[in-house]
Amino acid sequence: MVGIVGFSRDGVGYVVVVALAVCLVCSVLVASAATFLKPMQTVNAKADRRSNILEVAGLPSGPDVDVNQVFKDRIEARVVDLSTGDYATDMESAEFDQRRAASDPDTSIKIPRSQDIADIKQRSKYAEVYLVNDEQGNLKTIVLPIHGYGLWSTMYGFLALKPDANTVEGIKYYEQGETPGLGAEVENPRWRAKWDGKKVYDGNGDVELSVIKGSVGKGTPNAEYKVDGLSGATLTSRGVSNTIHYWLGENGFEPFLDKIRSGKLSAEG
């Protein structure tokens, strides 16, 4: 029997043509679905990011909360030039994508090996910061995006500081691929709670905050700068420390935070 013109249904040619036709139809359907769903995925990703920012800042962020409205009412997003610590007034935060900027030669820098303690190879010249206001409009919290390598993965998160730009308000990792039950405990709320009230900079202005091996006790020297290590996850713990030291150091947010502390820069700019 002849099916498709020129091909017998019992022949190899017929089978190949049908298989190709099915593949073509499926690829068109998949491409169409991806195109259709992309705007929705973008919106969901934006909402998820905002939810994480609200959570680390101690603002309502649950499933019953209008995340976008709370974000609009309480948070101002600004793009910072990391080399100067000043706001990049010519850049709109709504259009800025730090990961994309980090992969663009025009908006990124390669990090010298001697400085790359977070093992991220290169970074954007700019970063988006989130200034959280209280109900009276006063600066309450500064939320900084951070990322660095752990044992198996680059870990992305947010570090929240109080208005003194030195005291930790909270930390939240939202993307990581560390070992479940060990390094992945960076997402555990009980471990995250141990960061509250810790200090970043010592009296000389150096980054002192670190995750130690073991636990912080009453007799631990300089306990205000130390956080309990993750049990069985020494390299992940070290990665978190290195991430903090890089992003809060002179090649990260230190110039910006210095200006916030000195009053040279305000939430309004």
Q: Is residue 255 part of a domain?
A: yes
Write the pLDDT tens digit of every residue in 151-173.
999 999 999 999 999 999 999 99
Write the pLDDT tens digit of every residue in 90-108.
999 988 999 999 999 999 9
| Banded pLDDT at 236 (limits 50, 70, 90) | very high
- Is residue 10 predicted with pLDDT exceeding 80? no
Q: What is the mean pLDDT of residues 116-142?
A: 95
| Banded pLDDT at 230 (limits 50, 70, 90) | very high
- Is residue 132 predicted with pLDDT exceeding 60? yes
- Is residue 15 predicted with pLDDT exceeding 50? yes
Count how many domains the chain has.
1
Q: Is residue 217 part of a domain?
A: yes
Q: Is residue 10 part of a domain?
A: no
Q: Is residue 40 part of a domain?
A: no
| Banded pLDDT at 136 (limits 50, 70, 90) | confident
pLDDT for residue 43: 62
User: What range defines the domain where residue 188 resides?
Assistant: 62-262
- Is residue 149 predicted with pLDDT exceeding 70? yes
The 3 state secondary structure assigned to the chain is CECCCCCECCCHHHHHHHHHHHHHHHHHHHHHHHHHHHHHHHHHHHHHHHHHHHHHCCCCCCCCCCHHHHHHHHEEEEEEECCCCCECCCCCHHHCCHHHHHCCCCCEEECCCCCCCCCCCEEECEEEEEEEECCCCCEEEEEEEEEEECCCCEEEEEEEECCCCCEEEEEEEEECCCCCCCHHHHHCHHHHHCCCCCECECCCCCECCEECCCCCCCCCCCHHHEECCCCCCHHHHHHHHHHHHHHCCCCCCHHHHHHHHHCCCCCCC
Q: Is residue 6 part of a domain?
A: no
Q: Is residue 120 part of a domain?
A: yes
| Banded pLDDT at 87 (limits 50, 70, 90) | very high
pLDDT for residue 267: 67
Q: Is residue 118 part of a domain?
A: yes
pLDDT for residue 118: 98
Q: Is residue 16 part of a domain?
A: no
Q: What is the mean pLDDT of residues 1-15?
A: 57
